[in-house]
Structure 1
């Protein structure tokens, strides 16, 4: 697929996502600046920084919803890969697939970070405007109070003022009341502790107390909030002391932004970037992150399915995908019983990690995995079987060089494969 064709297909996929600042032709032009570098990164292992540049450009163009990210990740991981590498059995398929996953993960992470930066910048602008208007109210009361009231009432973010001597709410705007889940008219005159309730008294309230005592002048944090109706949200909260011309504290102003959807989007992006889209298991990136922090002794099982290529060739990739999903389900059930982690690292290769695991326990687990995978799999009303060559290794200390440990289990797996007879290794049934 060429750079121009990729840009046009990408623009087609982005149709329907909110981006009022650009026409479709402008979107194609924008993407065309980056698609050559993106193709190079996947085909030749170029610099994945191109993914961060594309994410920044899309956020700057006002693509702010999950649809844009979801479709972009699918295009990178599936559309472009399938177009350039149609044969999964080709020797260059899995290296390209790994590079595509790395580029997609880089894109998703950068998009989330840029989206957060843009949202926080908007919040900072609102807070700065509110603080400026509040300070001017003391010096130029009539004009400044009118400006503050306009900002206070019409702002889309929540704004509230608090008496610094009593800790009671003076006033809140409609957005603040909606964020916290209260009727606006019920909040003035009540203490912050009373409004929040015991379920929400935590780190944010501790920072608020430091603000009241004069220990700090401002704070900002994200906090989980439970509303009176039982619903939950994530709030970005900023609070500052407003002082008069002589520097004496007059009142507190708080700004809240409901970031629940943004956090959920970030969580979804993280999950998509760290899990295999076919089986739902953790992918290579998440596995190596977990391995780097695993508590020793660390047991690792490396699995390669025997006979899977024959199933793909004779019954098609749809049947092969079904088998891979069923293998993942059985593997997850077996490994979860010992608190381990199962991941798919590509093709028909899976890997298992168990913390605090000795050699005997790991050997027993490997045998349980073989037993679990020995039962036939049903595909389109017929039964097929696959074998599993398993290599194991135990690291008694935290693995300083992950590649060495992976080389050990890889060698053990191929040694196991060479010992298995063709009848043990594979063979479709029910034909």
Structure 2
């Protein structure tokens, strides 16, 4: 498959994801401008930032739903790899696949950022329009009241007004009622704290008090919200104080947006970008984030499978993938409560033991990991064995650089492999 064919394939995958600003031909032309550079990126000759450029271009073209990013990640992780390495026995297959996964992570991260920025811009625009209309109501009451009422009732985001002296709700639109799960008619005359309930008001209570007392003019935050029917959502809440021409507080205006879908998509994209797609273990990126955040003494076990290449060569890559999945599962079950296992790529795994008490504990963990891999693996009814070489290092994270630590465990692992082969 050539790069132009890849663009056509990608455009076909995006069919069904709403993007009314472009025709199918225009989508193909847009993607054709990126496929050659993406292909170069998985070969290691182009910067990974091209994935972020592609994601930003799709968001700008009005691709806003999870279907678009889901299908794009599939194209990057599968079709792009097959374009560069049509056969799995290609010598560059594993490096190409790892770079493709990294490309997909960059794409997903930029797509999430783009969605958030679009949502925030739309909310700011709505809030600005509402505030403008509210201020004009004081200067040109009759005309502005009609304009504000149209915005108020027809807005797709929740809007409500609050009496600045009593803290009680004056009016809300239907979108606000739907977001909070409370009938619009049941809210006027009640306090915001009473409507949201003690479980939902949380940190917002002190912010409301500061707003009513005049200490601040506005606030904005995301919060989890439980509706009266028990449904859990995430809402983006903004509150602003509206003043008259002389600066006296007149009322509060609040805007709510249900961002549950966007939050779930962001969480899913974060998970996909930080976990190995085959084994489900944390990937290299998440492991080094955890390692960088660790404090005090930590232990690291670096595992390299012995005999895995022979399984791939004799049984095929499908069997090899099954063995890697089983290895990941066994390592996860063998971990102590303070341990985390990750797949670095290929047949290399690494385990971080946080707050490690000493070499004795680290040796116990290493022995447990090796014991977990000792039993044979069942591959399509056939029993196969995989050994492992392991290197360990015990260090103080406050005094040791990460690259020094990795060099130490890498050296120890190869020393262990040499001893095993010598035996």
Matched-pair contact (CA < 8 Å) for 2:88–2:317: no
Contact 1:298 1:398 in 2 (8 A): no
Distance in 2 (alpha carbons) for counterparts of 1:361 and 1:87: 44
1:360 matches 2:364: no
Contact 1:45 1:99 in 2 (8 A): no
Distance 2:322 2:101 in 1: 22
Number of the residue aligned with 2:159: 159
| Equivalent position SS for 1:165 | coil
Task: Name the CA distance, whole Å, in 2 between partners of 1:179 and 1:81.
Answer: 43
Corresponding position of 1:346: 345
Q: 1:15-414 maps to which residues of 2 (within 5 A)?
A: 15-86=15-86, 91-335=91-335, 337-357=336-356, 358-398=358-398, 400-414=400-414
Partner-residue secondary structure (3-state), 1:392:
strand
Alpha-carbon offset, residue 245 of structure 1: 2.0
Answer whether contact 2:302 2:348 (CA < 8 A) is retained.
yes
Unaligned stretches of 5+ residues in structure 2: none
Name the counterpart of 2:3.
3
Deviation at 1:338, TM superposition (A): 3.4
Residue range with higher mean Cα deviation, 204-213 or 38-47: 38-47
Structure 1 unaligned residues grouped into runs of 5+: 425-431
- Asked if the contact 1:181/1:228 (under 8 Å) is kept, the reply is yes
Q: Identify if the C-alpha distance between structure 1 residues 88 and 290 changes in structure 2 by more than 3 Å, giving closer, same or farther.
A: farther
Comparing 47-56 with 299-308, greater Cα deviation is found at: 47-56
CA distance in 1, matches of 2:385, 2:155: 63
Change (3 A) 1:252 1:99: same
Report the Cα distance in structure 2 between the residues aligned to 1:126 and 1:205, rounded to whole angstroms. 24
C-alpha RMSD of matched pairs (Å): 1.6
Post-superposition offset of 1:89: 5.7
Distance 1:182 1:302 in 2: 54
Decide whether the 8 Å contact of 2:41 with 2:48 is kept in 1: yes
SS in 2 for 1:299: strand
1:143-200 Cα shifts (integer Å, max 9, x gaps): 1111111111111100000000000000000110111110111000001111111101
**SS of 1:190 mapped into structure 2:** coil
Q: CA offsets, 1:352-383, max 9 Å, x none?
A: 00112121111111111111110111121221
Measure the CA separation in 2 of the matches of 1:265 and 1:309: 37
Moved over 4 A (4+): 86-91
Q: Deviations over 1:255-304 (max 9, x none)?
A: 00000100100000000011011110000111111111112311111111
Deviating more after overlay: 83-92 vs 15-24: 83-92
Residues 344 and 350, structure 2, Cα contact 8 Å, conserved in 1: yes
User: Bigger shift: 308-317 or 326-335?
Assistant: 308-317
Task: Call closer, same or farther: CA 1:58–1:349 in 2, change over 3 Å.
Answer: same
Q: Deviations over 1:34-83 (max 9, x none)?
A: 22222222212422221221111100111111111112122212221233
1:295-317 CA distances to partner (integer Å, 9 max, x unpaired)? 23111111111111222222222
Question: How far is the alpha carbon of 1:413 from its aligned partner?
Answer: 1.1
- Check 1:370–1:264 CA distance in 2 against 1; reply closer, same or farther (3 A cut): same
Secondary structure at the aligned position of 2:236 is classed as strand
Compare 153-162 and 50-59 and name the one that shifted more.
50-59
Distance in 2 between residues matched to 1:137 and 1:362, nearest whole Å: 70
* Farther off after superposition, 392-401 or 403-412: 392-401
C-alpha distance in 1 between matches for 2:87 and 2:393: 32
Q: Secondary structure at the match of 1:195?
A: helix
> Does 37-46 or 236-245 show the bigger shift?
37-46
- In the alignment, is the contact (CA less than 8 A) between 2:274 and 2:286 conserved in 1? yes
- The answer to whether the Cα contact below 8 Å between 2:210 and 2:216 also exists between their aligned partners in 1 is yes
Instruction: Tell me the TM-score normalised to structure 2 length.
Output: 0.96
Report if the CA contact (8 A) 1:168-1:188 is conserved. Answer: yes
Taking the aligned partners of 2:89 and 2:412, their CA distance within structure 1 comes to 23
Query: Greater CA deviation, 79-88 or 366-375?
Result: 79-88
Normalising by the residue count of structure 1, what TM-score does the alignment of the two structures yield?
A: 0.94
Give the aligned partner of residue 12 of structure 1. Answer: 12
Q: CA deviation at 1:385?
A: 1.1
- The more displaced of 94-103 and 403-412 is 94-103
